[in-house]
Structure 1
Amino acid sequence: MLSNISNVLRACAHRNAGAVVMSARTYANFTTEASFEVKKCDLFKLDEGPATEVVMTRDEGLQYYRTMQTIRRMELKADQLYKQKIIRGFCHLYDGQEACAVGLEASINLSDHLITAYRAHGYTYTRGGKVKQIMSELTGRRGGIAKGKGGSMHMYCKNFYGGNGIVGAQVPLGAGVALACKYQGNNELCVCLYGDGAANQGQIFETYNMAALWKLPIIFVCENNRYGMGTSVERAAASTDYFKRGEFIPGLRVDGMDVLCVREATRFAADHCRSGKGPILMELQTYRYHGHSMSDPGVSYRTREEIQEVRSKSDPISLLKDRMLSNNMASVEELKEIDIEVRKEIEDASQFATTDPEPPLEDLCNHIFSNSPPLEVRGTNPWSKLKSVS
């Protein structure tokens, strides 16, 4: 009997050793680099555009996948916490648009600058914010990236200027950042994002004018997710060719659901800006899965079938995953492992965001100025203790 048990153990050990060898061999046999054909960008006032034959390494693909999954899971957790009334106020989710943020960041530097509207959670993460800080900001806690005072629409980190609640107001601010880049001569640029709803704002056209006159190193990015709040682009704009709206500024229309397409278009646009040619405009054609904000169910002006069709045919994460699997750049098990790690990170961050203390009342007038405050801060003596009267 002992002999039989020994034989079984030896057989198991042999099988396990074979599995280890097979795993190592499979890992070693992964394709480290592959070429992909991406959709050609529509061009405006440009003789040539971004490459359509692009190269992605295995490491890049895994990083893009992890980042997009983190943004997706973070937003789904935010949805859950909002419905539990743990997150309050305005909350605009980014799920469905992950390829825009990840593709943009893949072709600029962290020393470059970025400013966006209120759908800002994804960019806060790609700019260097931690999931724990973002989730805590959403719940209004002391550990939030804006110390619990900004909430969903007002998040900031180094070279990232928000998170801006007023529609279109970030565009002239972005031009100011780009003017500083040019003035300092540091070869940096500013990526300035706005939505299709904001694209009709007068201040945007004023900014185009200044940026073109001064040849500012700015990439204007219109994230066209087809609906400004609950209104389709066809009902809101006489022309939906947002990439041509600059008139005297060259433009690109890009498949915003394909991370590689966004990456190559951004690389092209960044080279344009850094070479001293001035501003360029990119329209990223994308889609949001949630409503405009958490107060919008998102199905009163579009059908569930439409949302499902985009999910099944154009999901940015699924597209990248299929590419990697079909080109032997990763295994199903490896990607599942990333999914598990991401979910754990989100759960840990959520736990922190629901237990971290709220900021104390005496912090209310702090952090208004970057250095020492003046004697009077909005009528409040900074040395007086604030008291709650509720």
Structure 2
Amino acid sequence: MPVFSLDPEQTAWCAELRALAARRLRPLAEQGEPGRVNRELLAVLGELGLLERLFTCGALDLCLLRESLAQGCTEAETALALQGLGTYPLVLAGTEAQRARWLPEVGAGRAVAAFALSEPGAGSDAAALSLRAVPDGRGDAGGWLLTGEKRWISNAPEADFYTVFARTGGGAGARGVTAFLVPSGRPGLTGSAIEMLAPHPVGALAFDAVPVTRADVLGEVDHGFRVAMDTLNLFRPSVGAFAVGMAQTALDAAVRHTATRTAFGGPLSGLQAVSHQVAEVATRIGAARLLVYAAACAYDTGAPDVPARSAMAKLYATETAQFAVDTAVQLHGARALQRGHPLEHLYREVRAPRIYEGASEVQRTIIAKELYRSADNSPQEER
């Protein structure tokens, strides 16, 4: 499929999702308590089959899903995305028993998942993990005891299970990291909420000799960092899609407002300073959307440059969304900052995607690293 167009079926599906989000999901989101998991909203996402679709859809479908929901209800989009992020390591590397236990529960909206990678000293530098998995002393038949902390974990401390990345080997950086599936009821695992700008829960987890066994391992021992990176390579473009959805909502609001708001003897849209700002926002959104779709198609086709494309998509789309929302607020004036205004809501929501799943600076580092790696592997020109 060309990355610059959608077929009629995809276009119709996106329109249906936007309408569904506005009509059915937004009222449920508005009834939820900020900073808490909205389990009623998750149950409806499960009833609609959207959570189960996370396990089977490709990257492009995931992007279309997130972009469309974001235009109608950002809380529903975020609830769905966090379920996907926390569960995808299980889809990617879980055993049959693990999948049978948890995937039906997540798909129905009954179980809440969380992706536990970040630590107090390992945010942008994810390879600097210090959570330790120490052998429990029972040899090959035994397991490990997890000791340390995780922080800035979405859905913590309310999740029913966590995909946890801990250091099992002695290697530095990405070496010796193992992914574990840890149910919330394990002895020694405690959590606390962190008050954040985000409407969904974000918290810290403390591991005090939490027992895990080989049945809890996701993938292979000492190779869990690849599970984390493969998950992020899928979800980074879809963060960009979420951002594009927010940006489009801001643009639509700006166009409506400037077309009807009168000042200086006519509509604001008649002022070149205003119309050119709207045109700039629309152009950037168009470019961001193309980057997101291209990255998603690269992932779906197994292209070798997925890390760079994913990083570009997330970087440009999230930066564009910030610009679009800020411009829309400026064009609306003080009314856009009134509590409860749709743009006031977006203004709070749009900041976090530039940080989570790799800050903008991290994405630039990834892009540069991939560029130089390609240059090192290319034939040298004769001089």
TM category, shorter: under 0.3
Higher helix share: 2
- Structure with the bigger RCO (C-alpha within 8 Å, sep 6+) is 1
> Which structure has the larger Rg?
1
TM score, norm. by length of structure 1? 0.22
